[in-house]
Structure 1
Amino acid sequence: MLARYDSDLHNHLESSTAFRGSSPDIQNELIHSVSELMTMEIKKEISKANYVSLILDETSDVMNKCQLASVLRYVTADGNVEERFLRFTDVSSDRSANSLFNHALEILNDFECGPKLIAQTYDGAAVMASQHAGVQAKIREQYPNAIFVHCYAHRLNLVLAQSASFIKEVKVFFATLSGFRTFLPSPQKGLKHWIPTLGKDFLLSHLLDGSTIADLLKLCMNTEKELRIFLCL
């Protein structure tokens, strides 16, 4: 599929006789090799940096697995501020403060930057931000200079969410949208009522697992007439 948009890749796949690189095993090995090289370069940069900050954030994927994103932010030797994404880690089995703290220590030890840590940034969840038992408190026990900063993006999101919650139309809109997300991926619950109105093709093309809020917004915009009929059932 990518070859349709990349002429070099297309020519390679069409003309190569010795190495095509289309095997899943080979592709995984290439990805792993690139990852190792990038990690080595990041470690070189961090070894020359004087100060480092740690950023952690959790997010759930379409399979409802909790993924922890790990990022290091630092100033390079030539004065540039860099943010380097390191990895996603599946923490679905244990999201306790101790488990996430151990993950943070693993990152700091792996990149040998613990003594340089001057800041840590997470969301405002108690498991991360608690002054006594949260991850930030445990980190400060090890590295006292690592001040905690509540992520500005999360703070802005909280302000906007709270502000919007006082606007009736906005509150109803997002409540309805959330209902779609819960209801639409489960067609078997009301299939006999849906198909006559929306049609089988509509269901197959739109009611798929893993729909995001953006997908649902597009669905509402592109199929307003059908949805109005459906909601009146």
Structure 2
Amino acid sequence: MVAPSIQKDIVHCFAQEVLKYIFQEINDDVFSLLVDESSDISKKEQMVVVLRYVTRGIVKERFVGLVHVKDTNALSLKSAIEFLFVEHDLSLKKIRGQGYDGASNMRGKFNGLKTLILRENISAYYVHCFAHQLQLVVVAVAHKHIEVGKFFDMIASLMNMVCASCKRSDMVRESQKEKVQEAIGSGETETGSGLNQELSLGRPGDTRWGSH
């Protein structure tokens, strides 16, 4: 029971039971589709799929899948969604709403994901993700604050300076390694499987939640 392969099998069984219950709740009724994509720490592009539906007068949002996509163009995303739907016996015809961010591959008027789905289902109305809109507003307001604006400018300058040189990147890694070792020695940081791993530096982006 402690073998990683067996633990993964158990987790997979739990996931299948949870999904089975979600689709029983939907019960061939209509639902809305929420999609976003982002690269993970291993630089793989992942697409998350969430369904919003109403049952017994209660609006529910349920995560139903995380799909690895090799390309983020609209056709690739639609194919991945269709594959996921076929796997769980869902239909694009049952979609009554779409919620994405404002990227061109998602909300493009001619070849965006929302347009491709609308061609098959004219009832799948598109609404710009309110959480994404709120984030853009927060970022815009934050940049108006002088100290916050200077902070993000400084971070961008540091990233440009460090990432442009392998020697500088090595210096940052060595410095971080010394700090981690010192923290472990003083008991401030715990050790264990998967902890204190070396991470690559990521550029701050306004459309990423990590930008805050």
TM-score range, shorter chain: 0.7 to 0.9
Kindly indicate whether the alpha-carbon contact (under 8 Å) linking 1:46 and 1:113 is maintained by their aligned counterparts in 2. Answer: no
How does 1:208-223 map onto structure 2 within 5 Å? Answer: 208-210=198-200
Worse overlay, 199-208 or 23-32: 199-208
RMSD: 3.4
Find the structure with the greater CA-based Rg: 1
In structure 1, what is the Cα distance between the partners aligned to 2:14 and 2:59? 23
- TM-score, normalisation: structure 1: 0.70
Counterpart secondary structure, 2:144: coil
Match of 1:75 in 2: 54
1:34 and 2:14 are equivalent in the alignment:
yes
Over the matched positions of the two proteins, sequence identity in percent amounts to 29
1:107 and 2:119 are equivalent in the alignment:
no
Kindly indicate whether the alpha-carbon contact (under 8 Å) linking 2:92 and 2:117 is maintained by their aligned counterparts in 1. Answer: no
Residue identity in the other structure for 1:90: H
1:86 pairs with 64, 76, 96, which one? 64
Match of 1:124 in 2: 102
Kindly indicate whether the alpha-carbon contact (under 8 Å) linking 1:185 and 1:207 is maintained by their aligned counterparts in 2. Answer: no
Matched pairs, number: 193
2:179 pairs with 185, 188, 202, which one? 202
Kindly indicate whether the alpha-carbon contact (under 8 Å) linking 2:162 and 2:168 is maintained by their aligned counterparts in 1. Answer: no
Would the alpha carbon gap of residues 193 and 155 (structure 1) be closer, same or farther in structure 2, given more than 3 Å must change? closer
Would the alpha carbon gap of residues 168 and 48 (structure 1) be closer, same or farther in structure 2, given more than 3 Å must change? same
Residue identity in the other structure for 1:47: N
1:61 and 2:40 are equivalent in the alignment:
yes
In structure 1, what is the Cα distance between the partners aligned to 2:105 and 2:197? 35
Would the alpha carbon gap of residues 118 and 216 (structure 1) be closer, same or farther in structure 2, given more than 3 Å must change? closer
- TM-score, normalisation: structure 2: 0.76
Counterpart secondary structure, 1:27: helix
Would the alpha carbon gap of residues 211 and 81 (structure 1) be closer, same or farther in structure 2, given more than 3 Å must change? farther
Residue identity in the other structure for 2:126: F
